[in-house]
Structure 1
Amino acid sequence: MPEILTASRSHDVALQGAVLLYGQGPGQFSYGTAHRIEPDASGRPALGAGVPLNRAALIHAVREVAAHALPKGEFLTPNVLSISANAVTWWCAAARRRVFFKCKELGERNAIVSHPALVFQASQSGFSVFALQDEERPVPNSALFEPPYFNTWDHGKICIGSAHVPKQIDVASIGGWEEGFFNSAFTHPNHGTRRVEYERGVFAFWKDMLDGQFPDFPKQVLVPMKLKLADLIAGKLEK
């Protein structure tokens, strides 16, 4: 059975307070109150009594939020392709990795098979994966291909389902995102664009892969997306 990855909770945050702003019209703020969040009788968070928000308290709150919102300096490992305030993009070299399947067409099976080079992106809008034809570190002009995997939508979107992935989007969490993908069971091919160009279809392709018919990943089955790595980094794949 696939290993379950549990995300670190060291950076979790909880609702601690609220600021209410008052004014004579939309976008006009002339008075504010600060409120603590307190549990109600059922244990749910509720707005506590407010106190006037003075200038010093407002400046302190804004500085605290701004300090934690700024991107932190991180060591960029060679697999990192791009990092922004909203996303981290990286690549995995072609390699042999174990895959897990759990569906009526293939049964419950797992095997170590060859994978193409891959590009991953974890962003505020979701988790995505793309295949590459070349095995060298990709460049902005590198062509992206459909991921040849179950549990993916069009434009590389991964259906996370019950997979355990990190809550953080940063370089330090890349390993956790990869484990969440590779250690999850593939259950079904999602609707949309075909994932592989294979005469007998995607189920037959993965059956042959699991049976060891391809010692190396057959790159001829990859479906081109007519998009480049630069498009992904620039956010042009967002829907």
Structure 2
Amino acid sequence: MKLNLGPGQGAQVAASCAIVLYAQEGGQTVYGTVHPISRNDSSDSTSDEARSSIGAGRPIDRAALLSCLNELAANTAPRAEFLPETVLAVSQSAVTWWCRPGLRRVFFDCQELGKRTAIVPHPGLVFHAASNGFSVFALQEDSRPSPESTLHEPPYFNTWDLGKICIGTAHVPKRIDIASIAGWESGFFESAFTHPNHGGKRVNHPKGEFAFWQAMLDGQYASAFPKELLIPMNKPLGDLIRGKLGA
């Protein structure tokens, strides 16, 4: 079986061996064997899977296993790269970054507000792109947040509790890395907000979220985002980075 690692990840690779682990009933691994994988290029084979077979095994050699694991770890580890000031945390499954407060265009397409677009102020935001979803949070701070910074509900439509973003038809990157941050942000801001999702309140406006965004689109808060309307989640940024936000 062949595997293409994708752009920037090296050439196409092929399976060379298989490791079989044997465990006791309780799940503790007690023995292992390594098996060569051979290719059968017979004329009646129709796929890479059909042309490959696993050979007889032999006991795993401890030194060889450790060498293999070390080599694999070195080849799969994230490559060193420059970290912009806005990047807050990077792991193998997630990237967390900060978006400075400022003016950005928003798009709406819903019955209550119609099809509208305007450039409006936004608070400082924290975005989190991970293998289990995309999320956004608001901040009171105008500067780069710390792990102790309190996360606030995102004051946006198309978001669920705990900051989860309903991606819908938005175009977002397939990769989760620093180079894809701009694409994730564009996917969020350049798609139309269509409706408030079920769950808790997203903004503390006395007349509700539709009235809030009507005022925003009409320019009532043109000078600065009204941060007094943000709703604290009583969760620190550090919980998001450590994967404990829902705990």
TM bucket normalised to smaller: 0.7 to 0.9
C-alpha distance in 1, partners of 2:9/2:50?
20
1:82 maps to what in 2?
Answer: 89
- Whether the aligned pair in 2 keeps the contact of 1:101 and 1:185 (CA below 8 Å) is yes
For structure 1, the 5+ residue unaligned runs are 1-8
1:218 maps to what in 2?
Answer: 226
2:194 maps to what in 1?
Answer: 187
Q: Matched residue of 2:55: which SS? A: strand
1:192 Cα offset (Å): 0.8
Q: How many percent of aligned residue pairs carry the same amino acid?
A: 51
C-alpha distance in 2, partners of 1:69/1:201?
48
Count how many residue pairs are aligned between Structure 1 and Structure 2: 229
Deviations 1:113-145 (A, max 9, x none): 111111111122221111011211112221111
Moved more, 66-75 or 141-150: 66-75
- Whether the aligned pair in 1 keeps the contact of 2:19 and 2:32 (CA below 8 Å) is no
Amino acid at match of 2:207: R
1:71 maps to what in 2?
Answer: 78
2:12 matched to 1:10?
no
C-alpha distance in 2, partners of 1:179/1:21?
44
- Whether the aligned pair in 2 keeps the contact of 1:16 and 1:36 (CA below 8 Å) is no
TM-score, normalised with respect to structure 2: 0.77
For the structure 1 residues 173 and 30, does the alpha-carbon distance in structure 2 shift closer, same or farther, using more than 3 Å as the test? same
TM-score, normalised with respect to structure 1: 0.80
C-alpha distance in 2, partners of 1:111/1:29?
64
For the structure 1 residues 96 and 44, does the alpha-carbon distance in structure 2 shift closer, same or farther, using more than 3 Å as the test? farther
2:20 maps to what in 1?
Answer: 21
2:232 matched to 1:233?
no
Match among 164, 167, 173 for residue 174 of structure 2: 167
1:12 Cα offset (Å): 7.8
1:146 Cα offset (Å): 0.3
For the structure 1 residues 69 and 113, does the alpha-carbon distance in structure 2 shift closer, same or farther, using more than 3 Å as the test? same
C-alpha distance in 1, partners of 2:195/2:50?
41
2:211 maps to what in 1?
Answer: 204
1:23 Cα offset (Å): 4.3
Q: Matched residue of 2:243: which SS? A: coil
For the structure 1 residues 11 and 110, does the alpha-carbon distance in structure 2 shift closer, same or farther, using more than 3 Å as the test? farther
For structure 2, the 5+ residue unaligned runs are 1-5, 40-44
2:140 maps to what in 1?
Answer: 133
2:126 matched to 1:119?
yes
Moved more, 50-59 or 79-88: 50-59
- Whether the aligned pair in 1 keeps the contact of 2:98 and 2:144 (CA below 8 Å) is yes
Moved more, 110-119 or 63-72: 63-72
Amino acid at match of 1:232: L
Moved more, 27-36 or 215-224: 27-36
Bigger radius of gyration, 1 or 2? 2
TM-align CA RMSD: 3.2
C-alpha distance in 2, partners of 1:164/1:84?
23
Match among 36, 51, 56 for residue 55 of structure 2: 51
1:10 Cα offset (Å): 2.4
